[in-house]
Chain A
Amino acid sequence: MLLLQLLVNGILLGGLYVLIAQSLNLIFGVMGIVNLAHGGFIVLAGLFTYWFATTSGLSPLFVLPLAFVAMGLAGALIERFLVEPLMLRERRADLASLMLTFGLSFVLVQLALNLWGSDFVSVPYLQSSYRFRGLNFDAALSISGVFAAVISASLYVWLNYTLSGKSLLAASQSPTGALSCGIDVGRVRMVAFGIGVGLAAAAGVLVIVVLALAPQSANDFTLLAFVIIALGGLGNYLGVVAASLLLGLAQSVAGYFWGGNAEYVLPYLLLLLVMVARPQRFRQSP
């Protein structure tokens, strides 16, 4: 029973990780840039959700579609007017985009600080757990996990079975080849960045009901997401799902048997091990 409970806790945590990491992975997979403002988008959406839920008294989940669309549009605009010109102009576009998103992360954190202050906050919502055959299913993580599964499955289906999704994959694999097939690569990148930011916002909405969050938590999420996509294979969507679930599971077991410090250090230890054992994993998948 204990092992089953650890399995449940780990998979639920992994579900949240999928959501946190997949958006960063999408942007990296298509554009080849690591969006260091990723955590900033998560906390901005999370804190907006906190504000919405505490002032309106409504469920924070109402914010989910709004945050996805609004932040997605904002992301598309950022890509079109900030990222894209840089990608076309700079010879070291990867480095320049790192610097740009790094700067953007400061802007987002400062914006959140000015709007909501520096306190850690969370929404008292879904604090109970569902019981099934003696097992506890954390309600907030369960809901997050369901959303993560739906979003990841939708993303996978869209990327692999629709024309627009295939265009996106094509643009990520060979921009020149995609261009020669008549695909508007610039537009595809804008869409990818917008969806990526929209997904990060969706993650933020769900994170605030699971964890206490503050503007300065942004970097923690960026780092965690980067560790997960590095473990899963940069740009590898199914790999990231597997890495998220395995990491959640490993942290659940480590935290139970060896305490909080083991749980905390585990992602970075795993990353180190994978970097040493499988360096080829850190190349963008074709």
Chain B
Amino acid sequence: MRVSRSRLGALGSAVLSILAGGVVFAAASAAHAAGAPIVVGATVSETGPLAADAVFQLKGEALGVAVANAHGGWLGRKVLLKYYDDKSSPGTAVRLYQRLITEDKVNLLLGPYSSLVTIGIAPLINKYKMATIEPGASVPTIYVKGNKWNIQGIASSTTYLKQLLPLAHKAGANKVALVGLESAFTLACLDARVAQAKQLGMKVVYRTTYALPMPDFSPIALAIKNAHPDVVLGCTYYPDAVGIARALHQQGFAPKYFGETVGPVEPAFIKALGPLANRILSNTSWWHNYKTPGNKAFIAAFTKKFGIAPDYHAAVGYSGIEVLGAAVKATHSLNQAKLRAYILSHTVPTIQGPFKVSRYGLMLGASQEMVQIQNGVLKLMTPPSLAEGKVLVPYTGS
């Protein structure tokens, strides 16, 4: 087939025009990408039964992003946190993460609050291969081979109140009552503590689970009272932590040792229970006296920005942003595979301690330490090197 010169010229011009157009488009895109913020997507339970703790995680993440921007952002770009309220519902969270990934097209993801909600979104995270730090999901069974894109950002649920039973056992306590909410985290916590009690040779005299909303904890409190335990340990979130403490008191029972996992560290808990909160034991994976890099600045900035002191949920949210930032800067990339490989193979210093995870993303660095409310103030009880006092017993319930 013969093609005339003029036609060849025209074709060449067209190809050149397309190529030139492509270059211009690519250049424009690069300029746009360079100027566009890096968007970190997340959902947080701003409403629903998990809200009391979850909003602290959100505040920590928001502060992390503000601090990152104050230091010039990542890869020369601003960082933006785009989040939605998942209403403490895994179903809602799945829809919202789908929106974040496919419609908002966020560059990076952070997980929601709680293991319950995280279990809901885990398949989606793996489907879209997004390296996602989970600041609020402590259940270790999430971080297995099949869920390789989920990376734990908080201490394992098996470490919550792990110091309480050995402490009580050492002091001669033998009978334990264990209660827990029907939820992934609390059930994992409950199983771990039951196993620990058996390992220590302690007798589990009462064990039950319940669902929220629970109208009245007095039947459970009465059953606990009649089982005569030395230790009452609740694997709780905030609303049930308040309900159980109040019901035990109203049934006229105060165990020698009383611990609840999530709830007592929130200021609202002490406000809601007043003197009943005194001597309740709980846990934290971060504390204000941790000698970790940036911890003092974090506390000052958080208190200034939100007018309240941070808790460990705020610290894990903040740490999640710290780790994402470190990975983006080290890899000079937003490539999910590169980010995941970096996070899994490096120890990143954060305010809650060294962020180190296993090959399947299971947290190895952080651990839960024990705190106790003493005269309306939370004090760190473990580790001994950082303890702010000694555990006071018995729990008086007044």
| A interface residues, Cβ below 8 angstroms from B | 2, 5-6, 9, 13, 54, 113, 117-124, 127-129, 131, 136, 138-141, 210-212, 214-217, 220, 224, 248, 251-257, 259-261, 263-265
Q: A212 near B209 (CB under 8 angstroms)?
A: no
Q: Write 6 A-B pairs (CB below 8 A) sorted by A numbering.
A: A118-B48, A119-B51, A120-B239, A121-B272, A216-B87, A255-B220
Q: A263 near B274 (CB under 8 angstroms)?
A: no
Is B8 part of the contact surface with A, judged by Cβ < 8 Å? no
| Whole-angstrom distance between the Cβ of B48 and the nearest chain A Cβ | 6
* Contacting residue for B238 out of A120, A139, A252, A265, CB 8 A: A120
| Whole-angstrom distance between the Cβ of B242 and the nearest chain A Cβ | 5
A251 and B249 in contact, given A120-B239, A124-B271, A127-B274 (Cβ under 8 angstroms):
no
Is B251 part of the contact surface with A, judged by Cβ < 8 Å? yes
Q: B252 near A136 (CB under 8 angstroms)?
A: yes
Q: A264 near B210 (CB under 8 angstroms)?
A: yes
Is B374 part of the contact surface with A, judged by Cβ < 8 Å? no
* Contacting residue for B239 out of A117, A123, A212, A261, CB 8 A: A212
Q: B250 near A259 (CB under 8 angstroms)?
A: no
A217 and chain B: residue at smallest CB distance: B213
Is B96 part of the contact surface with A, judged by Cβ < 8 Å? no
Q: A120 near B268 (CB under 8 angstroms)?
A: yes
Q: Given the complex of chains A and B, what is the CA–CA distance between A124 and B250 in angstroms? A: 13
A-B contact count (CB 8 A): 136
Q: A120 near B49 (CB under 8 angstroms)?
A: yes
A50 and chain B: residue at smallest CB distance: B272
| Count of interface residues, chain B, beta-carbon cutoff 8 Å | 40
Secondary structure type dominating chain B contacts: helix
Q: Could you say which residues of chain A place their CB within 8 Å of the CB of B87?
A: 216
Q: A216 near B249 (CB under 8 angstroms)?
A: no
Is B309 part of the contact surface with A, judged by Cβ < 8 Å? no
Is B70 part of the contact surface with A, judged by Cβ < 8 Å? no
Q: Given the complex of chains A and B, what is the CA–CA distance between A58 and B316 in angstroms? A: 38
Q: Could you say which residues of chain B place their CB within 8 Å of the CB of A216?
A: 47-49, 51, 87
Which of A121, A215, A259, A265 has most chain B Cβ within 10 Å? A259
Is B133 part of the contact surface with A, judged by Cβ < 8 Å? no
Q: Could you say which residues of chain B place their CB within 8 Å of the CB of A211?
A: 215, 243
| Whole-angstrom distance between the Cβ of B240 and the nearest chain A Cβ | 9
